[in-house]
């Protein structure tokens, strides 16, 4: 979806509201993928000769918990607001993505906002205890004795501990 921001400003057009859905499944999001649709809400209205733009984008991000590797589906939402004047469109440092003919590239803007909002580390829950160092299962599922968790992971330290226990 593209939006003719220049005409909107020049002709002082009535407010615009759109709810486009984008497919970002082939876009780069680092270690995660956005496989489902990204649902957006885009509005533009004029106020004192400026275009006030808002964008929200929501998507489901599937992945694996960084601590226990359980599958995770996280809902990610990003919102942005921007005010644009006519002269901003000629500024080479204009921050919003424009197409070759100077229209606002709403899909690209949504991609950029989503990219920034996606957590670099997914967790199944904020307090996920992770995996048991002894049996390798999720700590919530394992049946190891509680003291086993305190055992040193380093084999060399285990030897030392046994030595200490023997005295
Ligand atoms: Zn987890
Ligand atoms: Zn265990």
Q: Which residues contact 84 (CB under 8 A, 6 or more apart)?
A: 5, 9, 50, 51, 53, 96
Predicted TM-score (pTM) of the model is 0.76
Tell me how far the alpha carbon of residue 138 lies from the centroid of ligand 1, in angstroms.
8
pLDDT, position 159: 58
SS3 60: strand
Beta strand 104-105 pairing with 2-3: antiparallel
* Residue boundaries of the structural domains of the chain: 2-117, 131-167
Locate the DSSP E strands across 4-154: 16-18, 21-23, 37-47, 50-64, 71-84, 104-105
Mean pLDDT of the chain: 87
130 CA to centre of ligand 2 in angstroms: 11
Q: Can you tell me whether residue 162 is helix, strand or coil?
A: helix
The predicted structure's pLDDT at residue 17: 97
Is the pLDDT score of 148 beyond 70?
A: no
What is the structure's pLDDT at 167?
A: 44
Ligand nearest to the CA of 147: 2
- Residue 66 backbone phi and psi in degrees, to 5: -70, -20
Neighbours of ion ligand 1 (CB under 5 A): 65, 67-68, 70, 124, 128
Mean pLDDT of 58-72: 91
pLDDT tens digits, residue range 12-34? 999 999 999 999 999 998 878 89
């Amino acid at each position: 979806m593209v939006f003719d921001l220049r005409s909107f400003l020049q002709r002082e057009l009535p407010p615009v509201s759109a709810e486009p859905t984008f497919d970002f499944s082939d876009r780069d999001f680092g270690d995660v993928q956005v496989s489902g649709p990204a649902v957006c809400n885009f509005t533009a209205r004029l106020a004192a000769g400026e275009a006030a733009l808002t964008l929200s984008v929501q998507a489901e991000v599937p992945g694996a918990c960084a601590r226990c590797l359980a599958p995770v589906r996280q809902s990610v939402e990003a919102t942005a607001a921007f005010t644009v004047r006519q002269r901003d469109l000629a500024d080479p440092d204009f921050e919003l993505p424009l197409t070759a003919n100077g229209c606002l590239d709403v899909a690209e803007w949504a991609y950029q906002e989503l990219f920034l909002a996606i957590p670099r580390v997914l967790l199944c829950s904020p307090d996920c205890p992770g995996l048991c160092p002894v049996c390798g299962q999720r700590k919530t599922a394992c049946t190891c004795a509680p003291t086993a968790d305190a055992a040193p992971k380093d084999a060399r330290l285990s030897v030392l501990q046994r030595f200490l226990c023997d005295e």
